Amino acid sequence: MQLSQMEPISKKWFDAVAEGKYLGRKCPECGAIEFPPHIACNTCGYHETEWVELSGHGTLKSFVIPGIQNDKPYLKAVAPYGYGLVKLDEGPEYTFVVFCGKKKVVKGLQERLHAGEEIGVHARPIERTTPIKPGEEPVVEWSELCFELDEVSE
């Protein structure tokens, strides 16, 4: 699906990611933050949530390495990765692609998490492009929100 065909809340969220901003929807009734955003609050069901900007920083709560059938070549080209439950500093949790810098780091993440280590992560959007033919320039369709270990950028 092209970004121009998305419904307005999804489009606004993806547009913000492309600009390096991370938006959620906060419920004025119960204070819950939906991230990625939804039309209504999933905690209490209130229908009028408000846009809020989030930090794009959080902690890794769990991590799995993709099996061969779930491996994504476009992600492998960026950096070693896995899928992790990210809890943002503002509270919401969601599963994202998490880049780890080096393969040896990937192998030790589960053990570190099971030992209770707090592992910081930050947003790292990547551009998703349409498939191209030889000699053509790729066209950016949208920016996909991924995360990266804080220690990779230290």
State pLDDT tens for residues 33-47.
Answer: 999 988 889 999 998
- In a 3-state reduction of DSSP, which class is residue 37? coil
Examine the pLDDT at 4 and tell me if it is beyond 60.
no
Reported confidence tier of residue 58, pLDDT bands at 50, 70, 90:
very high
Query: pLDDT at position 69, please?
Result: 65
Query: pLDDT at position 145, please?
Result: 94
Examine the pLDDT at 1 and tell me if it is beyond 60.
no
Examine the pLDDT at 3 and tell me if it is beyond 70.
no
Question: What is the C-alpha separation between 17 and 14, in angstroms, rounded?
Answer: 5
According to DSSP, residue 101 is labeled: S
Q: Where are the alpha helices (DSSP H) in the chain?
A: 8-18, 73-76, 103-114
Rounded mean pLDDT of the chain? 87
What's the average model confidence in pLDDT over 54-68? 91
The pTM (predicted TM-score) of the whole model is 0.84
Least confident of 30-34, 87-91, 111-115, 141-145: 141-145
Contact 73, 47 (CB under 8 A): no
Nearest to 60 by CA among 44, 83, 37, 79: 83
Query: pLDDT at position 73, please?
Result: 75
Domains parsed from the chain with CATH numbers? 1-54 (no CATH), 56-154 (2.40.50)
Q: Which helix (H) or strand (E) holds 2?
A: none
Question: What is the C-alpha separation between 132 and 46, in angstroms, rounded?
Answer: 43
